[in-house]
């Protein structure tokens, strides 16, 4: 209900921020995995002011949970994909440097493909070239890794596009201020102010 109300008025979620975190990212999320997904949707719909409050008060807790949601295996397969999609979206919505956290997630996801399949022995076999990787890797882990990588890549492209637009806006604003300042300087000299001879 809160998520629907937030479409019309993002400020509605601000007064329920702690509830969203406690319920959506707390112990209840492990009982009902859709709560985590709904909490991610709610965070994406926060107003800019509420996003800043969230980062200041609970940022590390939220990012820790999102990282655990994406790289952990506590969510059932049928709900993990939808929740991971929203979690990656939240990272790119509120994290100050989303590319760093996203890169770590991709690395963890890749390492989980091999480590969970055979542990240290497999890692040693891979390094020595004696492991048959195709027979030792779990399909579900590869699927999750590809999902995380593709969604991070898509969100990274959107993030870069947003950054480019911000830079272009700043450049246009600076150029406009410079042009207005130049015009004001040139227009400040009036014909009547020139000394008259004679």
Distance from C-alpha of 28 to C-alpha of 35, rounded to nearest angstrom: 7
Q: How many domains does the chain have?
A: 1
- Residue 120 lies in domain: 2-179
Q: Is residue 105 part of a domain?
A: yes
**Rounded mean pLDDT of the chain?**
79
Q: Is residue 89 part of a domain?
A: yes
Q: Is residue 184 part of a domain?
A: no
pTM of full prediction above 0.85: no
Distance from C-alpha of 81 to C-alpha of 87, rounded to nearest angstrom: 10
Assess contact for 12 and 5: CB atoms under 8 A.
yes
Q: Is residue 194 part of a domain?
A: no
pLDDT greater than 80 at residue 39: yes
Give the distance from CA 74 to its chain's centroid. Answer: 21
Q: Would you state the structure tokens that stand for residue 140, as one six-digit string? A: 């579900």
Q: Is residue 145 part of a domain?
A: yes
pLDDT value of residue 198: 47
Distance from C-alpha of 19 to C-alpha of 158, rounded to nearest angstrom: 30
Q: Is residue 187 part of a domain?
A: no
Answer with the residue of higher pLDDT: 179 or 158. 158
Q: Is residue 195 part of a domain?
A: no
Q: Is residue 191 part of a domain?
A: no
Distance from C-alpha of 191 to C-alpha of 177, rounded to nearest angstrom: 25
Each residue's pLDDT tens digit, 101-122? 999 999 999 888 876 444 455 5
Each residue's pLDDT tens digit, 149-178? 999 999 999 999 999 999 999 999 998 888
């Amino acid at each position: 209900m809160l998520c629907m109300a937030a479409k019309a008025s993002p400020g509605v979620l601000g007064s329920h921020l702690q509830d969203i975190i406690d319920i959506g990212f707390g112990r209840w999320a492990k009982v009902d995995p859709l709560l985590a997904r709904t909490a991610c949707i709610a965070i994406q719909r926060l107003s800019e002011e509420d996003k800043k409050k969230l980062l200041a008060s609970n940022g590390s807790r939220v990012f820790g949970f999102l990282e655990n949601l994406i790289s952990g295996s506590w969510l059932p397969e049928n709900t993990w994909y939808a929740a991971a999609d929203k979690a990656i979206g939240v990272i790119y919505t509120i994290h100050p440097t989303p590319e760093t956290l996203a890169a770590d997630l991709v690395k963890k996801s890749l390492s989980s493909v091999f480590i969970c399949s055979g542990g240290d022995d497999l890692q040693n076999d891979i390094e020595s070239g004696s492991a048959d990787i195709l027979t030792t890797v779990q399909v579900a882990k590869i699927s999750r890794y590809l999902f995380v990588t593709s969604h991070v890549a898509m969100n990274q492209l959107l993030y870069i596009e947003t950054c480019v637009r911000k830079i272009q806006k700043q450049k246009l604003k600076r150029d406009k201020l410079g042009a207005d300042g130049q015009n004001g300087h040139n227009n400040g000299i009036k014909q009547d102010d020139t000394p008259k001879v004679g």
